[in-house]
Amino acid sequence: MTDARMTLRAMPFVFEPSNEHWNPGHWNAARPEFSQVVNSASLAMPFLEPYLIRSMRAARGQITDPVLQAEVDLYIRQEAAHYKQHQLFNETLRSAGYTCIDAIEKQLAADYSKLEKERSLRFNLAYAEGFEAMALAIGQMLIEDRVHLFGDSKPAVASLVLWHFVEEIEHKSVAYDVLHQAWAKLFRDNPAGAAKLDTARLAEPVPVPS
């Protein structure tokens, strides 16, 4: 028996790629700038969310609390559903003629692969925790201002974004709890190795994009 604080929702969306009046770039005709903010964020989801899933999956074996284990499982299933829907939406953007998408996706894949290969599990869990904290604030804003931001827009995209962020709000503590429980276990098992792994990166300069 668990007290998991998440719900898995099956949400089908139809992005109408064959409809000549469907403009995926400006799915909210009254707010084209907001449309493009959402579009750019959507491009990251099929790369960011699988990376979050892999980090949480890697940490699951360090967790003994059955409630948190159940939450990790639900988290993984929710994030998997999210990025699959974003893939479908992103395909409509690609089909609409946004030729920059291939290069952006290539860069996103390389960036998250690099983080996963070169950074510690603690770093990757902290990244997940930081992302979820940000998503909580964004989700609250999107839902509170949903009429202003999504009113009269294409229902499929509005539903995709609001569904996604309703579930993101449910992630408000799971990544934080995983980071702390998994790291506590790693540190108990091998304090010298864990400390070395953690501090080895602190002296590295943070690369600044040119």
Q: Which residues bind Fe ion (CB under 5 A)?
A: 79, 82, 168, 171
Amino acid (1-letter code) at residue 6? M
**Of the two residues 82 and 154, which places its CB atom closer to Fe ion in the complex?**
82
Q: Select 30 or 137, whichever has its Cβ closest to Fe ion.
A: 137
Rounded to the nearest 5°, which phi and psi values hold at 180?
A: -75, -40
State the minimum distance, in angstroms, from the CB of residue 36 to Fe ion: 20
Q: Which is nearer to Fe ion, 63 or 160 (CB)?
A: 160
Our CB check for Fe ion shows the closer of 129 and 168 to be 168
State the burial class of residue 199 (Cβ atoms within 10 Å of its Cβ: 0-12, 13-18, 19+): exposed
CB of 48 to Fe ion, least distance (A): 8
Q: Name the strand (E) or helix (H) holding 10.
A: none
Cβ closest to Fe ion, residue 154 vs residue 171: 171
Packing angle, helices 66-95 and 101-118, rounded to 10 = 160
Q: Name the minimum Å distance from CB 167 to Fe ion.
A: 6
Q: Smallest distance, Å, CB 132 to Fe ion? A: 5
For 195, residues 6+ apart whose C-beta sits below 8 A from its C-beta are: 187
**Rounded Cα–Cα distance for residues 156 and 77 (Å):** 21
Amino acid type, 209: P
Q: How far is the CB of 164 from Fe ion (least distance, A)?
A: 5
Nearest-10 Cα torsion for 185, 187, 189, 192 = 170
Residue at 3: amino acid letter: D
